[in-house]
Structure 1
Amino acid sequence: MKTILVPLDHTAAAEHTLAYVNKLAVRWPAEVVLLCCIPATDIGQSAADLAAEEQRLRSLVERLRYQQLTRQDGRRIKYRYRVLSGCLHDHVRAEASACAADLLVMGLEHIDCGRQEAPGNHAAAITELVSCPVLVVPPGRRALPSRLVFSADFASLHLNVLPRLSALESAFPGDVDLVQFYPPAARGQRRQLKQALSRASTQLTWTTITPHLLEDDAPLEAVSEFCARTQAQLLVIAPTSSAQLLQYFDSCYTTTRAYHTQIPVLVLRTAERPPSAACCDRCAERLEQEQRKVVLPNYHAVHWA
């Protein structure tokens, strides 16, 4: 059975996050693991305090389950509760591993350890800590997506990312637009970029996939405009660094309510590997051994007194 890990705080936006997860859990279907981390400065670490917080969480779940869903759908969702003392970034890695989370869903304005930062900052930090995809949901009530936009640099995208995305096809069925932006200086690489787009489309399991190779020297603004033009309901990204992820939620975009900050964003973590001059694994191992020999001192060559 699939598992969705949902970190919740006690803000009003948390209800919107949980309402979205409820719809997703019915469609997939999946078990929902609710994780609530309470800063130790706010409450004591006694079992009674944590039990009171868990009861508060259960009350929220039961209220939303039967207000939002039909009784039959509400009964189908299985919940597990985890209430811990401390900060989310201290526990999320272990919790995601323990429940074998297939997806982590959190709010765009999630508050961690009592600190309220710019929207998306905490989500970007959590993405670095877990290996599963992270779905960032902005405040507001919305339907599940039927039109998706997947924007990435497909020429450098690691192949392990695409099966991870295909595993979510039944959770997010619909039409998928693959979008690759390139600057004017890269016009000579259009053929390679088209081939990379074609390879990506063949490895994804959605029925309707439309590739788009577009020229633009400001890809972030361009993808937001593309999502607005196609009325996309979910943006999928595969940033190559935490700095690149933070750009999507920069204050200039959240303040001006850019389109991509008003829809859920699914973040796929890419495994960063350092560039290697080796042509194969055997050559890479040989180069590594040679580098070790250079680093280690050659005591036999030293003339001892």
Structure 2
Amino acid sequence: MNTLLVPLDHTASAEHLLAYANKLAVRWPAEIVLLYCQTPAADAASPAADLTAEEQRLRSLVERLRYQQLTRQDGRRIRYHYRVLSGCLHDHIAAEVARCAAQLVVMSLEHVDCGRQEAPGNHAAAIADLIACPVLVVPPGRRSLPSRLVFSADFSTLPLHTLPRLSALAEAFPGTLDLVQFYAPTDRRQRLPLKQAQTRALRQLTWPNVQTHLLEDEAPLEGVSEFCARQQAQLLIVAPASRAELLHYFDACYTTTQAYHTRIPVLVLRSAGTPAQAVCCGKCAERLTHDDGAVAALSHFHPTYHA
């Protein structure tokens, strides 16, 4: 049986996240492990009682959505497990993924951790950096499961062993899949090797309907957002080469302007690579600090988990 690990909080988007996970669990099919992490209050009289109350709160949410959203047969088909822990999500997530052998973590874009609000996407980037299984980041709002998917990556450097993990999700996300590779105008001579890399990646994927696209663009992230908009994509798959590159997808410049790729679910594949050194604009560079806390050159600034 496939397993979805779904970290929940008490934001307004938690209900939409669970509703999306329910649909996914029925289609795949899969069982759902609900994970809630709570930082204990300093004046808490009984921390154990607080955790028990939170588990009951989760159970009430599950039962309400099970019969409001799903048919009776589908609602009974899903098996739920509950994990309520004391502490921060990023302290427990790796152990919980291993404990339940999760194939996919489904989390909200605006997840609240440790009792404070982080910039949208920062938690997702931190979680994806801690675990090996794919992470599906779901923005707020009600939505149906995707039938049009876009996979954007640098296929010339993407390790092929990453792709079988993606193919394992083909039953969960059936539909048309577009592989898109962007290259800079200065790399036009590399078109043939890039096309060959796309072909090698294509052989590792099990989707029945896959198309490849090799596009020239100086700004790949803006390019993929525009490409997703043209294709009316409902799911974007990315394999960032570094955590900084993943943070770039959810940068405030894009969330504030509601760029297309921030309004659809993003599936993050863990991929080894070299650290990214660029930011999208000067304002972001001024706002962010280097991981070691020292002020760096403008082109070396990138978001951090505590930014």
- Aligned match of 1:18: 18
Q: Is the 8 A contact 1:17 1:106 kept in 2?
A: yes
Structure 1 position 138, deviation (Å): 0.1
Deviations 1:7-39 (A, max 9, x none): 000111000100000000000000100000011
Q: What pairs up with 1:52-67 in 2 under 5 angstroms?
A: 52-67=53-68
Q: Residue 130 of structure 2 aligns to a residue in which SS?
A: coil
User: 1:189-228 maps to which residues of 2 (within 5 A)?
Assistant: 189-228=190-229
Match of 1:108 in 2: 109
Q: State whether residues 181 and 214 of structure 2, in contact with CA within 8 Å, keep that contact through their aligned partners in structure 1.
A: yes
Distance 1:192 1:143, change over 3 A: same
Structure 1 alignment gaps of length 5 or more: 275-305
**Correspondences of 1:283-302 after superposition (within 5 Å):** none
Give the CA deviation at 1:100.
0.4
2:81 maps to what in 1? Answer: 80
Bigger-Rg structure (1/2): 1
After superposition, give the CA deviation of every residue in 1:36-64 in whole Å (9 maximum; x if it has no partner). Answer: 00111275663222111100010001001
Q: Give the SS at the match of 1:26.
A: helix
> Is structure 2 residue 273 aligned with structure 1 residue 268?
no
Cα distance in 1 for residues equivalent to 2:224 and 2:37 = 34
Matched to 1:241, the amino acid is: S
The correspondence of residues 242-281 of structure 1 with structure 2, limited to 5 A, is: 242-272=243-273
Task: For residues 203-257 of structure 1, give each alpha carbon's deviation from its aligned partner in whole angstroms, at most 9, with x where no partner exists.
Answer: 1000000000000010000000000000000000000100000000000100100
The reply on whether 1:5 has 2:36 as its aligned counterpart is no
Paired position in structure 2 for 1:39: 39
**1:236 aligns to 2:237 (yes or no):** yes
Any conservation in 2 of the 1:45–1:85 contact (CA below 8 Å)? no
TM-score, normalised by the number of residues in structure 2: 0.87
Match of 2:160, SS? coil
Q: How many residues align?
A: 274
- Give the match for residue 153 of structure 1: 154
* Alpha-carbon distance between aligned partners in 1 of 2:49 and 2:260, rounded to the nearest angstrom: 44
Offset, 1:147: 0.5
| Matched residue, 2:299 | none
The CA distance in 2 between the partners of 1:250 and 1:137, in whole Å, is 16
Task: Using structure 1 for the length normalisation, give the TM-score.
Answer: 0.88
Distance, in Å, in 2 between the alignment partners of 1:228 and 1:83 is 38
Measure the CA separation in 2 of the matches of 1:20 and 1:30.
Answer: 13
Give 1:193's aligned amino acid: L
Q: Which runs of 4+ in 1 moved over 4 A?
A: 42-45
Does the residue aligned with 1:160 lie in a helix, a strand or coil?
A: helix
% same residue: 74
Q: Is the 8 A contact 1:31 1:79 kept in 2?
A: yes
Which letter does structure 2 place at the counterpart of 1:232? A
User: CA offsets per residue over residues 66-112 of structure 1, 9 Å max, x none?
Assistant: 10010110000000000001100111010000000000000000001
Match of 2:278 in 1: none
Q: Distance in 1 between matches of 2:27 and 2:169?
A: 11
Specify the code of the residue in structure 1 equivalent to 2:260.
Y
Quick one: structure 1 residues 272 and 214, their matched pair in 2 at CA, closer, same or farther if it must change by over 3 Å?
closer
* CA–CA distance in structure 2, aligned partners of residues 227 and 273 of structure 1: 26
On the 8 A contact 2:40/2:47 being kept in 1, the answer is no
Query: Corresponding residue for 1:164?
Result: 165
Quote how far apart the aligned CAs of 1:273 are: 8.3
Would you say the 8 A contact 1:236–1:268 is kept in 2? yes
In angstroms, what is the RMSD of aligned CA positions?
A: 1.2
